[in-house]
Amino acid sequence: MGETVVVAGASGYAGALAARILHRHPHFELAAVTARSDVGVRLDELYPHHRVPLVLEELDLDRHADVDAAIVGYPHAASAPVVAELRRRGVRVVDLSADFRLRDRATYEQWYGEHKAPELFGTGVYGLPERYRAQIADADLVAGPGCFPTAAILGLAPLGGDGLVADVVIDAKSGVSGAGRGANQKTHFVSVDENVAAYKIEGHRHAPEIDQELRAAGAPVTCTFTPHLLPLDQGELLSCYVTTTRRVSQSELEERYAAAYAGEPFIELTDASPGVFDVRETNLCRIKLHSEPRTGKVHVFAAIDNLWKGTSSQAVQSLNLMFCRPETEGIGPTALTPAGVTA
Amino acid sequence: MGETVVVAGASGYAGALAARILHRHPHFELAAVTARSDVGVRLDELYPHHRVPLVLEELDLDRHADVDAAIVGYPHAASAPVVAELRRRGVRVVDLSADFRLRDRATYEQWYGEHKAPELFGTGVYGLPERYRAQIADADLVAGPGCFPTAAILGLAPLGGDGLVADVVIDAKSGVSGAGRGANQKTHFVSVDENVAAYKIEGHRHAPEIDQELRAAGAPVTCTFTPHLLPLDQGELLSCYVTTTRRVSQSELEERYAAAYAGEPFIELTDASPGVFDVRETNLCRIKLHSEPRTGKVHVFAAIDNLWKGTSSQAVQSLNLMFCRPETEGIGPTALTPAGVTA
Amino acid sequence: MGETVVVAGASGYAGALAARILHRHPHFELAAVTARSDVGVRLDELYPHHRVPLVLEELDLDRHADVDAAIVGYPHAASAPVVAELRRRGVRVVDLSADFRLRDRATYEQWYGEHKAPELFGTGVYGLPERYRAQIADADLVAGPGCFPTAAILGLAPLGGDGLVADVVIDAKSGVSGAGRGANQKTHFVSVDENVAAYKIEGHRHAPEIDQELRAAGAPVTCTFTPHLLPLDQGELLSCYVTTTRRVSQSELEERYAAAYAGEPFIELTDASPGVFDVRETNLCRIKLHSEPRTGKVHVFAAIDNLWKGTSSQAVQSLNLMFCRPETEGIGPTALTPAGVTA
Amino acid sequence: MGETVVVAGASGYAGALAARILHRHPHFELAAVTARSDVGVRLDELYPHHRVPLVLEELDLDRHADVDAAIVGYPHAASAPVVAELRRRGVRVVDLSADFRLRDRATYEQWYGEHKAPELFGTGVYGLPERYRAQIADADLVAGPGCFPTAAILGLAPLGGDGLVADVVIDAKSGVSGAGRGANQKTHFVSVDENVAAYKIEGHRHAPEIDQELRAAGAPVTCTFTPHLLPLDQGELLSCYVTTTRRVSQSELEERYAAAYAGEPFIELTDASPGVFDVRETNLCRIKLHSEPRTGKVHVFAAIDNLWKGTSSQAVQSLNLMFCRPETEGIGPTALTPAGVTA
């Protein structure tokens, strides 16, 4: 067995899925699952389909920090102090919250409020392996990207770099699991079914995160970003409409992306329009490019599973890198292996 | 009883709904329902929920043209000759196809091929009552707008008129009924369920129709328009991202639309994000405006029921105008009246 | 304007729909909508599609009991005391809870606990007009049936009466709105989507209610009743498998039901398999009969909309009877009239 | 690499999934995928999520019969001659059609018509490993069970054996993939969405198959069996209501099943009500037992994925047995391994 990992915050969708992946990972050992609610409940009672037969425990740092690594699935702000304590004890962390994603303090505070571990602010490596592979390998603290930024950056970064991008409009469509496990009127079946609407029309906090990473990719824009809630559980499609400073032909587009993503195990460039079902329960991002002759704009469609590549399997992808494992280990071998057997 | 109306092409979703509305219309008399398939079948066998107990007949112009008006629910190209013959016999027509919507012949031919009733090309009045009320009242041939253009024009027309609009990106989300009753892999439940994808990425023929009507509204742009197929049956949401030539404040926006739509019975301006469920089975268009401070763009969200306001109830709205009936008669009285009783 | 009606408990699905129907009823006047939560909110903010522009108020009996009638949409047990007070003030009541449906006190207490208005226990008329039309017309207190019992009794009562029924198995399939507006893990979209499971396997309190009414219909059995939750919002299908004491042929079956339901405005006997979509947003119950040659059993499939015929429109059907209105008034005229106009 | 396998009829849902599983199987080699339609198309164009990069070929027995085994995914009747030819050439076959499931010729002909390979009729081993493990290991021709019979027999067989079962009512709920890839009005999204209805009310051909296997399990009954179509893609829930000849207590029930299924890798006995989502994309059958005190009946709820345990992964389970592989190999190791990587 390899390094031990604890998943803190495993009662939520993201933490539970991380636990499932680690529980079956060929290398890592899932040491414990902790939660702030549902303590004492076996995880496979909450999530039968994940088939993780561990009991949720309260986080006890004296006991649970005796591991090599942790994936922390706490909400924003609640995460920072736990991460800080885990780091003090030498545990390498992949944090799924927004607490260590942003590099500008004022921007963080504007969208999330006061930071609860200011000494660590800005020290996380942005956990998008396709962009920061080397840094992640060396990192002790990885900030798992937001699900929307994951698809946005993977979809748009290859356009950056030479003043090409003038304006970006991102229309995002998300399944309901993106809203988390919290039960409220917005996630009630009757509210979502047979419906679609934009949400957070006044501003979504993933917008500055997308801006930050587009800028880092050489595309310094203030993006338009509006998410919509759809009647499906998992999956996220980003439709990006890019105004460029010069015409980019279809073939140039395709060559540019082929070059940028050569050898990437989790990027699929496709001729067909990508649907979220195509990437369901995978760590893949599936991308379609279109150069629109009527307007000269570049259209990019990027589909991911918000819980997998958008969150939990991507966290394990980082963990693989951090511990010198094959990047695809446990999250997409050569197989779409089928599932579940009783122990 | 008032004028008699035949619905030709009543076995499809649009025609069947038109038949339902007319069958219960306080004024018009539904004289017959005709179809090219399913002849001899009672309409309430195909569509129990519409509860129209008439038998589908083959269209017999000698018999069926003996009416005051017709709603024609044929596919593009198939419609034109039937409409022409009905017009020759003096029947006033609301045509649901694209055959009489466009005013530029070359554009029509580019997207739809040769026109099958060239003598009538360009003679139809565009059947969007909120834009062409007076002309519809006088018209003998009304071209029912496409469902996407209906929402697009209602959502964007008030921005036209003084050089304000510089660029328009429309991201459309549609339920499956918009694809029609034809059964194929794209409309198979298993293809649509838990999925979302853009379609007609290379170009959708509603784009030039939107351009035409935005130009008529004083916004001469080449719009970006991309539709997406969603796992729901009825409903259409258009998310419009408008670049303006100057900043438009939220209050200016709201005043502009309030003025444009004062007294309109079927336009709802709302503070909440409009969902397609909010307008399901109504002739309403529900619109939310947002002036985005980060980018200066104007966002417009417009929701309709693609089969109702997007097609069939809007056709009856035109019919009401053509025969001097109250515009809301039979399609949204003072009531959300409940439904069906066995005769 | 006719009699005034208050809807108490109008923030829930059932009460809100009752308010919608009464707000547009040709005769009754919706005097007020009250609620225990969301007071001060306009009902059309909670339920835009109902388009009832009234503000939810706290129930104030001094003010709100100054009406002719009330529909009470409170939960079980909470309802009884309010109903009692309304009755004391002379208000005629249709209660949507279970508090006045059962006639056996011990059975009530076993399933619902102590009754909170014992003086009224057993005084309600069971509000299923197809069974108790005359009694409802004279009643001051009508107990609206449970949604499952509504479909079960309408589907099975015609088999009662001459010792025909030996055993009844009812497998019920329900949309999520039947679980009410409360947001919890069971009604979370992600829990319901792509899923189906039986619930209350250990016993559902509608079972004794069905038994009571089947007995009253001459079929004294202890039924098997198991409900299942389906990924749809409104609608309820009951599949009933009846063991009879002698073979009943298909034609005898059909004649029996045709006779039993002759002239009933809200019963549809159909040859096709009834789907819940066929009766969506109607006060109809659609029934298919099958005499199974392999086993000799009688199969009855009955579909209703759980919120309409199963609850709110049926309550208005009773109200119509209580105030000598046409039974179908406001809940199924000769029309499937389309919907909503801004005031 | 181990034995080579061809999947014939790989353009349908069942064949395509079998191809996916075999393509990633640790032992077997997927030699070819053949189809009667879509020849020349790469399978991952039809089914991107399966990620099988093989091109569909026409079946050429001279070439394709040069394998060790075949999974045949043809429709009933079309399958028999192909299976016969494969057998003549010494290929061991798992057939997914109904052509070799039934043991009574008259029954087969009544439900499916004339048999197209009468010399082989009755020679297939019924491919339910939990019932016929030893025989499957020795078989050259395995008849993959129907999806409904799979769940029915797994759910009910442990009740057989000592005259316990007097009557069985099975109410089945199925996702749309059970209806196959054929696009028609019944599988159109708009027909299924927000709907549920029974189908094949007059009789479903899985009923005699269930009877045959229940009889073999010691429960000689003529079952009541009615399937219902639900708005979900994969998954099947059977609710079984069993009349027994004596009372069976909850503990006796549970002990009986625990004994019957001790050591079975793919059977989950659960306390919670099994949902189809719990077994989605697995080879598992999840079963809940309930002894109902009101009626004395035994209720059994059994959930499977109709495409996996109900068809394709179960076929590979048989293939594993036939070639002396570990029974769980490739279809549910110790892992719920995540998916898909570009080659």
Q: A19-66: per-residue pLDDT in tens?
A: 999 999 999 999 999 999 999 999 999 999 999 999 999 999 999 889
Flag whether residue B249 sits within 8 Å of chain C, measured between CB atoms: no
Q: Which residues of chain A have pLDDT under 70?
A: 1, 333-343
Nearest CA of chain D to the CA of B321: how many Å? 31
Which candidate in C189, C191, C276 is best for mutational testing of the A interface (most A CBs within 10 A)? C189
Q: Which residues of chain C have pLDDT under 50?
A: 333-343
Which candidate in D176, D194, D254, D289 is best for mutational testing of the C interface (most C CBs within 10 A)? D194
Strands B141-143, B92-95: parallel, antiparallel or unpaired by DSSP? parallel
Q: What is the pTM of this model?
A: 0.96
Flag whether residue B246 sits within 8 Å of chain A, measured between CB atoms: no
Token couple for A226: 């509006």
pLDDT value for A339: 41
Over chain D (343 residues), the average pLDDT of each successive run of 10 is: 94 98 96 96 97 97 93 96 97 98 96 96 97 98 98 98 96 97 96 98 95 98 98 98 98 98 96 97 97 97 98 98 96 50 35
Token couple for D108: 């087969």
pLDDT value for B339: 41
Nearest CA of chain D to the CA of C102: how many Å? 18
- Judging contacts by C-beta atoms under 8 Å, the chain C residues touching residue B341 are 265-266, 283-284, 328, 332-334
* Span B163-176, pLDDT tens digits: 999 999 999 999 99
- Out of D169, D196, D301, the one facing C241 most closely (by C-beta) is D169
Distance from C-alpha of A277 to C-alpha of A297, rounded to nearest angstrom: 27
Flag whether residue A188 sits within 8 Å of chain C, measured between CB atoms: yes
Q: Where are the alpha helices (DSSP H) in A184-330?
A: 189-192, 206-216, 250-260, 313-322
- Out of D176, D183, D233, the one facing B184 most closely (by C-beta) is D183
Flag whether residue A177 sits within 8 Å of chain C, measured between CB atoms: yes
Residues 6 or more apart whose Cβ sits within 8 Å of residue A318:
A94, A127, A129, A136, A139, A142, A144
Nearest CA of chain D to the CA of B126: how many Å? 29
pLDDT value for D332: 81
Nearest CA of chain A to the CA of C145: how many Å? 22
Contact A286 D48 (CB under 8 A): yes
Nearest of D2, D26, D7 to residue D330 by alpha carbon = D26
Catalytic residue (choose from B147, B223, B240, B285): B147
Distance from C-alpha of B177 to C-alpha of D191, rounded to nearest angstrom: 10
Distance from C-alpha of A134 to C-alpha of C326, rounded to nearest angstrom: 77
pLDDT value for D333: 46
Flag whether residue D62 sits within 8 Å of chain B, measured between CB atoms: no
- Name the average pLDDT for chain A: 95
% of chain C at pLDDT higher than 70: 97
Flag whether residue A227 sits within 8 Å of chain B, measured between CB atoms: no
Cβ neighbourhood burial of A114 (10 Å; 0-12, 13-18, 19+): exposed
Mean pLDDT of B78-90: 97
Nearest CA of chain B to the CA of D255: how many Å? 39
Flag whether residue A210 sits within 8 Å of chain C, measured between CB atoms: no
Flag whether residue B275 sits within 8 Å of chain C, measured between CB atoms: yes
Contact A232 C13 (CB under 8 A): no
Cβ neighbourhood burial of B45 (10 Å; 0-12, 13-18, 19+): middle
Rg (CA), chain A: 19
Q: C144 with C318: CB under 8 angstroms?
A: yes
Nearest CA of chain C to the CA of A234: how many Å? 8
| Angle at alpha carbon of residue B111, lines to B110 and B112, rounded to 5° | 105
In the residue annotation, C147 being an active-site residue is answered as yes
The DSSP string of C56-112 is PB---HHHHTSSSEEEE-PPTTTHHHHHHHHHHTT-EEEE-SSTTT-S-HHHHHHHH
Nearest of B6, B302, B327 to residue B148 by alpha carbon = B302
pLDDT value for C341: 41
Contact B183 D181 (CB under 8 A): no
- Judging contacts by C-beta atoms under 8 Å, the chain A residues touching residue B276 are 194-197
Q: Which of residues 73-102 of D touch C (CB under 8 A)?
A: none
Mean pLDDT of B252-261: 98
- Judging contacts by C-beta atoms under 8 Å, the chain D residues touching residue B185 are 181, 183
- Out of D183, D194, D231, the one facing B188 most closely (by C-beta) is D183
% of chain A at pLDDT higher than 90: 95
pLDDT value for B185: 96
- Judging contacts by C-beta atoms under 8 Å, the chain D residues touching residue C203 are 292, 294
In the three-class reduction of DSSP (H, G, I as helix; E, B as strand; rest coil), residue C321 is classed as helix
Q: D31 with D55: CB under 8 angstroms?
A: no
Distance from C-alpha of C251 to C-alpha of C257, rounded to nearest angstrom: 10
- Out of A48, A286, A308, the one facing D278 most closely (by C-beta) is A48
Distance from C-alpha of A282 to C-alpha of B197, rounded to nearest angstrom: 17
Report how far apart, in Å, the C-alpha atoms of A269 and of each of A235, A276, A290 are.
Answer: 17, 14, 12
- In chain C, whose CA is at the least distance from the CA of B342? C265
pLDDT value for B65: 86
Flag whether residue C198 sits within 8 Å of chain D, measured between CB atoms: yes
Contact D195 C228 (CB under 8 A): no
Nearest of D258, A232, D216 to residue C193 by alpha carbon = A232
Tell me, letter by letter, the H, E, C secondary structure of chain D.
Answer: CCCEEEEECCCCHHHHHHHHHHHCCCCCEEEEEECCCCCCCEHHHHCHHHCCCCEEECCCHHHHCCCCEEEECCCCCCHHHHHHHHHHCCCEEEECCCCCCCCCHHHHHHHHCCCCCHHHCCCCEECCHHHHHHHHHHCCEEECCCHHHHHHHHHHHHHCCCCCEEEEEEEEEECHHHHCCCCCCCCEHHHHCCCCEECCCCCCCHHHHHHHHHHHCCCCCCCEEEEEECCCCCCEEEEEEEEECCCCCHHHHHHHHHHHCCCCCCEEECCCCCCHHHHCCECCEEEEEEECCCCCCEEEEEEECCCHHHHHHHHHHHHHHHCCCCCCCCCCCCCCCCECCCC
Nearest of C239, C290, C292, C285 to residue C266 by alpha carbon = C285
Contact C190 A13 (CB under 8 A): yes
Distance from C-alpha of D233 to C-alpha of D330, rounded to nearest angstrom: 23
